[in-house]
């Protein structure tokens, strides 16, 4: 008689089954649930990426639009009286696909312009352009709307952008479906992304894109700078301290002859920075980077 155990009894259980068994202890609150999930990850029942997404999903249910919105001052907008020869270069330079259309000021959003709707005017010089013919209705939401509710509404309506208003009805900013999804799956690659094995990307002699995780030592060597390596390990740490708070996308700060602008950040840390080298270090930085 063959005493060897059958294949079904020795084959590893799926991670779903093992995770289900781990959760049989019925956590009493969210903190216990998260701790159980982390324990499952430590015991290789759940990989780190899946754990991070689950935690992010739980967090999104508690976050509000105001936590991730693009402030009104940083919105890329189009005036309703604009002509194609003016708006097309702006669209190309920004790389965005959707733009709020404003009337006299940023508090008067009258619609949304999709870049793809302007293609025919780019190649047809005889086409009569009236922005009212191509702009879409704007969707307005309160700052207090929770992200999980907003994501459900985005999916149902197929809208990708909403205008955020404050309690007085004024425009506070805007939010896109990408902003919400990035809270769950992490950063989605765009024109600001840098190769995985690179910390600094040169755009011009005085303009650079860099990861916030760039080691201070590497930054100093690249730019001939002298930031302290004792207080912070990364340039993102130095920049966050200079702000005095967790900065949002679009905020800028100057440190000596360097101006840093936040291109990407969440409520926990800065991810990507734009760097402008100001005189008198511009020439020295250009020589060091060449």
Spatial separation of the C-alpha atoms in residues 160 and 10, rounded to whole Å? 48
Residues 45 and 71 grouped into a single domain: no
Q: Is residue 253 assigned to a domain?
A: yes
Q: Is residue 128 assigned to a domain?
A: yes
Q: Give 262's strand partners.
A: 273
Three-state SS string across 118-136, please?
Answer: HHHHHHCCCCCCCHHHHCE
Residues 228 and 264 grouped into a single domain: yes
Q: Is residue 4 assigned to a domain?
A: no
* Strand (E) or helix (H) holding 33: helix 30-42
Predicted local distance difference test score (pLDDT) of residue 216: 93
Radius of gyration of the chain (CA): 24
Cis (ω within 30 of 0) for the bond into 280?
yes
Domain end point (choices 185, 218, 246):
185
217: closest CA among 238, 197, 203? Answer: 238
CATH number at residue 181: 3.10.580.10
pLDDT, tens digit (0-9, with 9 covering 90-100), for 162-207: 999 998 889 999 999 888 887 777 654 444 454 555 788 887 888 8
* Strand (E) or helix (H) holding 49: helix 48-60
Sign of the dihedral through C-alpha 268, 272, 277, 281: positive
Looking at the structure of the chain, the number of domains it has is: 3
pLDDT, tens digit (0-9, with 9 covering 90-100), for 99-131: 999 988 888 899 999 888 887 776 665 667 778
Q: Report the chain's terminal Cα–Cα distance, integer Å.
A: 75
Spatial separation of the C-alpha atoms in residues 224 and 220, rounded to whole Å? 5
The answer to whether residue 272 scores a pLDDT higher than 70 is: yes
Residues 164 and 228 grouped into a single domain: no
Spatial separation of the C-alpha atoms in residues 187 and 175, rounded to whole Å? 15
Q: Is residue 171 assigned to a domain?
A: yes
261: closest CA among 62, 2, 44, 74? Answer: 74
183: closest CA among 4, 86, 54, 91? Answer: 54
CATH number at residue 257: 3.30.465.10
pLDDT, tens digit (0-9, with 9 covering 90-100), for 206-259: 888 898 899 999 999 999 999 988 888 899 999 999 998 888 877 889 998 899
Give, in order, the Cα–Cα distances in Å from 96 to each of 155, 190, 213, 231.
20, 10, 26, 37
Range of the domain at 160: 67-185
Predicted local distance difference test score (pLDDT) of residue 44: 80
């Amino acid at each position: 008689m063959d005493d060897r155990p059958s294949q079904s009894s020795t084959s590893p259980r799926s991670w779903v089954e093992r995770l289900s068994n781990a959760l049989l202890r019925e956590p009493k609150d969210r903190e216990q649930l998260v701790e159980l999930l982390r324990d499952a990850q430590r015991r290789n029942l759940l990989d780190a990426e899946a754990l991070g997404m689950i935690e992010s999903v739980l967090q999104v249910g508690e976050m509000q639009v105001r936590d991730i919105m693009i402030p009104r001052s940083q919105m890329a907008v189009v005036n309703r009286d604009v002509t194609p020869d003016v708006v097309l270069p702006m669209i190309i330079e920004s790389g965005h696909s959707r733009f709020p259309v404003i009337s006299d000021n940023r508090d008067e959003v009258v619609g949304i312009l999709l870049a793809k709707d302007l293609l025919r005017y780019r190649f047809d010089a005889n086409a009569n352009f009236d922005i009212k013919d191509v702009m879409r209705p704007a969707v307005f939401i309160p700052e207090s709307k929770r992200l999980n509710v907003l994501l459900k509404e985005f999916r149902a309506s197929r809208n990708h952008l909403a205008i955020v208003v404050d309690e007085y009805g004024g425009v506070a900013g805007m939010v896109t479906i990408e902003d919400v999804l990035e809270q769950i799956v992490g950063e989605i690659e765009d024109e600001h992304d840098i190769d995985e094995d690179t910390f600094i990307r040169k755009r011009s002699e005085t303009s650079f894109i860099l990861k916030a995780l760039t080691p201070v030592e590497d930054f100093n060597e690249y730019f001939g700078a002298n930031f302290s390596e004792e207080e912070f390990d990364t340039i993102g740490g130095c920049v966050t301290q200079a702000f005095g708070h967790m900065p949002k996308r679009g905020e800028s700060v100057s440190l000596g002859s360097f101006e840093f602008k936040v291109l990407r950040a969440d409520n926990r840390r800065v991810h990507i920075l734009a760097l402008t080298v100001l005189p008198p270090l511009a020439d020295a930085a250009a020589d060091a980077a060449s």
